[in-house]
Structure 1
Amino acid sequence: MLDSFFDHAAMTDGITVRVSVSYLPEQSAPEEARWFWAYHVRVENHSDRAVQLLTRHWRITDAGGGVNLVEGEGVVGEQPVLRPGESHDYVSGCPLPTPWGSMEGRYTFVVVDGEKTGQRFEAAIPFFPLEAGETAQ
């Protein structure tokens, strides 16, 4: 079931990643070729094992075809542990030099309990568009 607040979702190995995105005109400056979006991510553990989010891998594409790959530890400075049934929410932002683009990616997790402790796996972050709307173009 897709939570009505989140427009985009992907499920991999019992991990659901949901995303909602909003264009922020007050933080954008189209006359300076700068558009800004906030995105809210919820990571849900629907598996039967506890996992820890280790790294993030984002592919951010702008309207001109420019691609920015972003990789790093955790999300907004955290590497949350999610036990079965738990979720973790965070909000971050993305500037682009164009009024539209897209984001997608993956998180790397490690199993932290049970017989598969130490096993790493990746969970998809769903593709989602970044669209400023007609007022910003």
Structure 2
Amino acid sequence: MKDQKHSIVVEAVSKFVDSDSEPVAGRYVFVYTITISNRGEVPARLLSRRWLITDAHGREQEVQGDGVVGVQPYLQPGESFRYSSSAMIATPVGIMKGSYAMVTDDGERFDTEIPAFTLAIPRTLH
């Protein structure tokens, strides 16, 4: 049975930023927009993030830190929070995935998975 108390859903959309990228130098920049939705039964605050960014050569970057874009959003049941950020990799295709550490009002901590999503320049993948 799925845990209805803690149900945080994460959706991601990425876009290649040609103007900030330098393919000849192995610099591919992507902007990603994340929507975090609390579909659970209790409020929760996002404390920290952990990202694993993998390029097409299998090189991994791990990024950890407090909150997202300088905030630790507090989500009541039914609320969502959306933000955008960016990532740079050395190949035209990569993957990002990770997790958010969350806490409820009563101090209960839980992790929410950020499902893997693709970073790819247009017309690279079919």
TM-score above 0.5: yes
- Corresponding residue for 1:42? 35
- Aligned with 2:115 (options 126, 132, 137): 126
- Corresponding residue for 1:56? 49
CA-atom RMSD in angstroms: 1.4
Aligned-residue offset at 1:133: 3.2
Q: Deviations over 1:3-34 (max 9, x none)?
A: xxxxxxxxx93111010111111111111110
Residue 93 of structure 1 aligns with an amino acid whose one-letter code is S
- Corresponding residue for 1:31? 24
Once the two structures are aligned, what percentage of the paired residues are identical?
A: 38
Q: Give 5+ residue unaligned stretches, structure 1.
A: 1-11
> 2:6, 2:42 within 8 Å by CA — same for their partners in 1?
no
Matched, 1:22 2:15: yes
Structure 1 stretches of 4+ with a deviation exceeding 6 A read none
Q: 1:125 and 1:30 mapped to 2: Cα distance?
A: 27
Q: 1:133 and 1:83 mapped to 2: Cα distance?
A: 37
Q: Give 5+ residue unaligned stretches, structure 2.
A: none
Q: 1:87 and 1:133 mapped to 2: Cα distance?
A: 29
